[in-house]
Amino acid sequence: MEKWVLVGSILLFTGTSWGQNGMDHFPKGAQSLGLGNASVTLHEPWAIFNNIGALGKGTTDILAVVGYDHRLGLNELTTLAAGITIPTENLGILGVGVSSYGGELFNQQQIGIGLAKQMGLASLGLKINYFQTNIEGFGRSARPVLELGGTAELFPGVFFGAHLYNITRAAISKASLNYLPTIVKTGISYRPSDNLMVNIETEKELSSPAQFKAGIAYSFEEKFWVRTGITSQPNNLYFGIGFRPRRFQVDYALSRNYLLGFTHHFSLNYNLSAQ
């Protein structure tokens, strides 16, 4: 019982309560988390979860991803995620992602399918999710959630990204007046070379203060990456590393909340098309 009082207090502190918001919308993939979640412009397979619109500018290979997110040392705050991107001949890149968050008393699952395509300077995408919430003693509910996003290269090496989650303001259930979060993200990425990236981003949930995010990444010979980032509301620090051989990419990120402690993130990307 004491553990669940602690978990509830943590969720309330971070601005997300069980009855009002979902938690499974958090950015995913240790590359994103190492950058302080400033990931709205990243053209990588984890864009399935973080900004479906960015997926259209990604590789034309078939890519699979898996991730593990262990927050604040509590199994009840753990997220598991997996996804795959599949290029199509004419429609663009198809992305499918599944994720699961929480423990026995409170948990959320999400499965989504999206499509993104590069059209001129912009990459645009749309995704539909089936979002399920289960609260012990209150039952289970599931609702469709729509999201859309896009990225564009404004100038050589300068990218803009935007993403809108839950554009229809879906509630947690048909009978509930509590809504799943509606989140707007916008950001700029400056990439003066292949081995340096600086990201600045803002995120706003309708009922919460705006959050500021910034991250920087540097690579050595495009195989080994180091990353760091910072966020406000709440104030967190992030650090990450990544290793990218030919067929796969392994990333690890560590975040620290100044009051609540550390969170660990692991993710793996695997290229199913590479020879």
* Segment 71-77 mean pLDDT: 80
Alpha carbon 14 to chain centroid, angstroms = 17
The answer, yes or no, to whether residue 64 has pLDDT greater than 90, is yes
Q: Which residue has the higher pLDDT, 257 or 46?
A: 46
* Segment 3-15 mean pLDDT: 42
What pLDDT does residue 137 have?
77
What pLDDT does residue 102 have?
87
Q: What is the pLDDT of residues 208-231, one digit of tens each?
A: 899 999 999 999 877 899 999 999
Mean pLDDT, the chain, integer: 86
What pLDDT does residue 31 have?
94
What pLDDT does residue 106 have?
85
- Domain count of the chain? 1
What pLDDT does residue 22 have?
46
* Segment 108-126 mean pLDDT: 94
Write out the DSSP string of 48-82.
Answer: HHH-GGGGGGS-SS-EEEEEEEEETT-GGGEEEEE
The answer, yes or no, to whether residue 15 has pLDDT greater than 60, is no
CB 36 within 8 A of CB 214: yes
Whole-prediction pTM value? 0.86
Spatial CA neighbour of 66 closest among 86, 45, 87 = 45
Six token digits for residue 214: 């910034």
Q: What is the pLDDT of residues 122-160, one digit of tens each?
A: 999 999 999 998 888 777 888 899 999 999 999 999 999
The answer, yes or no, to whether residue 3 has pLDDT greater than 60, is no
Backbone dihedral angles phi then psi of residue 175, each to the nearest 5 degrees: -95, 0
Structural domain that includes position 203: 2-271
Secondary structure (H, E, C), 89-107 = CCCCEEEEEEEEEECCCEE
Distances (CA, A) of 257 to 97, 173, 176, 204, 263: 28, 31, 32, 19, 8
- CA dist., res. 234 & res. 257, Å (int): 8
Percent of the chain scoring above 90 in pLDDT = 59
What pLDDT does residue 18 have?
35
The answer, yes or no, to whether residue 244 has pLDDT greater than 60, is yes
CATH of residue 68: 2.40.160.60
What pLDDT does residue 23 have?
56
Burial status of residue 18 (CB atoms within 10 A of its CB: 0-12, 13-18, 19 or more):
buried
